[in-house]
Chains A and B, each alone.
Chain A
Amino acid sequence: MTAALAFDLLLVAALVWSAARALTVADVFRGVVLFIVFGLLMALAWARLGAPDIALAEAAIGAGLTGALLLDAVGHLRAKREPGP
């Protein structure tokens, strides 16, 4: 099954790329976005590994809720650093 192999290789490459970028990027906001991207790609990976239940949990908790909380935290950090209107 070459299509399956191609899918998995692409997915792995993207996973590693987004993980590395999320850790090394200087801007916090971009780090958070990359973290969300990583979480969603990870959910796809779980789906490929035959674990739809974990894919569901990863998408819901890993990317969705944690992502929203981190975005909120970024907002608070920005508001604190530069007191806005």
Chain B
Amino acid sequence: MNSLTLALAVFLLVNLLVALVRVARGPTPADRLLAALLFGTTGVAILLLLGDATGAPALVDAALVFALLAAITGAAFTRRAWREEAPVDDDR
């Protein structure tokens, strides 16, 4: 059972890393900041599964912090960093 939750955690980690491709590619700054949302949900799920698989309920606390800080990062980005129109940068 534990190995199964761990396998699911691996599956979610692969998902997370593949989705980071979108973050790396952009094209707009908002696309990059989707990383904050991504870690807010996928990262939380991974932490919860890890906590269950390794029997460390303290990881649930770390998951709480993840979810909270996703909101803070997103708000800081929209309120502060993206005030003027940054040129839509295509890269590579």
Chain A contacts to B: CB under 8 angstroms: 1, 3-4, 6-7, 10-11, 14, 18, 21, 27, 29-30, 32-33, 36-37, 40, 43-44, 47-48, 50, 52-53, 55-56, 59-60, 63-65, 67-69, 71-72, 74-76, 78-79, 82, 84-85
Contacts and interface: CB of A to CB of B under 8 A. Distances in A.
B6 A3 contact: yes
B39 A37 contact: yes
Interface of A is mostly: helix
Contact of B86 (A29, A52, A55, A71): A29
Given A10-B14, A59-B62, 16 more contacts: A7-B10, A32-B81, A37-B35, A37-B39, A43-B66, A44-B43, A47-B50, A47-B59, A47-B62, A55-B47, A56-B58, A68-B76, A71-B76, A78-B86, A84-B83, A85-B84
Given A33-B32, A64-B72, A67-B73, A59 B84 contact: no
B21 to A, nearest CB: 11
Interface residues of B, number: 43
Interface string B54-82: 10101101100110110011001100111
8 contacts: A33-B32, A50-B56, A65-B72, A68-B72, A71-B77, A72-B76, A78-B86, A79-B83
Interface of B is mostly: helix
B69 A60 contact: yes
B29 A29 contact: yes
